[in-house]
């Protein structure tokens, strides 16, 4: 339903907007909540960062938004449409959100070109053009036939971002995407990522434990503590 009406949704003013109201998330079979009464509203095209120490629930938050984790109560709306509540759960593949995993999760059995094009239908006549456009954007023109294992950490990270952007997502969610890189590479790549995301005008949520990185990249920074958000 969500993806069928995508063209209409894309034209609406809510496109790229993410709202969470009084969300509670807990692990299965456990009473203790990871997120409780959690609310946030992210405007279209906004780039926000969520800071927090390990185990505070940053990844869980992204997984709840993307639909990998069900919520116990509250509401999550993406592009103004209800996607998660205690009784509604739109499957992750119907939400059209780009997810950049901490370990990138590049498919090891297919090359860079196919990794980027994974989310684009093979029946789409402009598939090759779309992939090439992304490859240009992430500056990996001569690496498209390489497999993930043949790429450096920075190149893998760019492929992961390119793959997430290739589906033309309403928002991009990044789970500590720079944590596996050294300081210099982290700095140069984060600038590139910011440029790429600004160019594509996509809403972005970055979770990280690095305050400098968060401030450098995003329009707004929040700290996640005891399941609640505080502005920095």
Partner 1 sequence: MIKIRKANLDYYGLLTSSVLIVALVSIPIVYLIIRAVSSEDFFELLFRQRVFFILLRSIFLVISVTLGSTLISFFLAHFLVRTNIPFKKFLTVLCCLPIVIPSYVYGMVFVNILGPKGKFHDLLSSLRITENFPDFYGFWGATIVLTLLSYPYIFLPLRSAMLRMDSSFEDASRSLGRGRFKTFFYVTFPLLSPALRSGGLLVALYTLSDFGAVALLRYETFTWAIMTQFEGAFNRVSASVLSLVLVAIAVLILSSDSFFKGPKSYFSSSSSNRFLKSRNLDYKRWFIFFIICIPPAMGALFPFAGLLYWLFKGILLGESIIIEFGTIFNSLFVAILAAAFTLLISCPITFFATRYKNSISRLIEKISYIGFGLPSIVIAISFVYFTINFVSPIYQTLVMLIIGYGVLFLPVAVSSMKTTLLQLNPNLEDASRGLGLGYWSTMWRVTIPLIMPSILAGALLVFLLTLKELPLTMVLAPLNFDSLSLKVWGFASEAFFAKAALPSIMIILLSGPAAAYLVFKRNELDIRG
Residue numbers at the binding site for partner 1 (CB under 8 A): 3, 28, 66, 68, 91-99, 101-103, 105, 107-109, 118-119, 163-164, 167, 180
**How far is residue 222 from each of residues 47, 57, 92, 112, measured CA to CA in Å?**
11, 13, 25, 34
| Cα R_g (the chain), whole angstroms | 17
Please identify, using beta-carbon distances, which residue of 68 and 75 lies nearer to partner 1. Answer: 68
Please identify, using beta-carbon distances, which residue of 176 and 213 lies nearer to partner 1. Answer: 176
Token pair of 135, please? 């490859």
- Please state the closest distance from residue 167 (CB atom) to partner 1, in A: 6
What is the C-alpha to C-alpha distance for residues 219 and 232, in angstroms, rounded to an integer?
11
- Please state the closest distance from residue 230 (CB atom) to partner 1, in A: 26
**How far is residue 66 from each of residues 77, 125, 146, measured CA to CA in Å?**
11, 28, 29
What is the C-alpha to C-alpha distance for residues 168 and 221, in angstroms, rounded to an integer?
25
Task: State the number of CA atoms in the 13 A half-sphere of 119 facing the CB.
Answer: 22
- Please state the closest distance from residue 188 (CB atom) to partner 1, in A: 22
Please identify, using beta-carbon distances, which residue of 121 and 142 lies nearer to partner 1. Answer: 121
Please identify, using beta-carbon distances, which residue of 71 and 221 lies nearer to partner 1. Answer: 71
Contact (CB, 8 A) for 95 and 169: no
- Please state the closest distance from residue 214 (CB atom) to partner 1, in A: 19
Torsion of CA 127, 105, 74, 95, to 10 degrees: 10
Please identify, using beta-carbon distances, which residue of 168 and 229 lies nearer to partner 1. Answer: 168
- Please state the closest distance from residue 47 (CB atom) to partner 1, in A: 19
Please identify, using beta-carbon distances, which residue of 80 and 153 lies nearer to partner 1. Answer: 153
- Please state the closest distance from residue 41 (CB atom) to partner 1, in A: 22
What is the C-alpha to C-alpha distance for residues 163 and 156, in angstroms, rounded to an integer?
10
């Amino acid at each position: 339903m969500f993806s069928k009406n995508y063209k209409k949704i894309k034209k609406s003013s809510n496109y790229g907007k993410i709202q969470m109201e009084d969300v509670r998330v807990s692990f299965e079979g456990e009473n203790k909540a990871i997120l409780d009464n959690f609310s946030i509203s992210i405007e279209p095209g906004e780039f926000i960062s969520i800071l927090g120490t390990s185990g505070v629930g940053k990844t869980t938050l992204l997984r709840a938004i993307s639909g990998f984790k069900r919520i116990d109560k509250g509401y999550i709306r993406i592009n103004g449409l209800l996607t998660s509540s205690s009784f509604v759960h739109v499957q992750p593949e119907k939400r059209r959100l780009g997810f950049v995993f901490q370990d990138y999760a590049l498919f090891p059995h297919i090359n860079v070109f196919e990794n980027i094009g994974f989310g684009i239908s093979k029946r789409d006549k402009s598939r090759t053009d779309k992939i090439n456009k992304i490859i240009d954007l992430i500056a990996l023109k001569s690496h498209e036939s390489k497999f993930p294992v043949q790429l450096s950490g920075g190149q893998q990270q760019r492929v992961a971002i390119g793959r997430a952007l290739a589906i033309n997502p309403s928002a991009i969610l990044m789970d500590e995407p720079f944590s596996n890189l050294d300081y210099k590479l982290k700095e140069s790549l984060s600038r590139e990522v910011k440029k790429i995301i600004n160019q594509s005008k996509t809403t972005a949520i970055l979770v990280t434990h690095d305050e400098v990185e968060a401030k450098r990249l995003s329009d707004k920074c929040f700290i996640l503590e005891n399941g609640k958000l505080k502005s920095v």
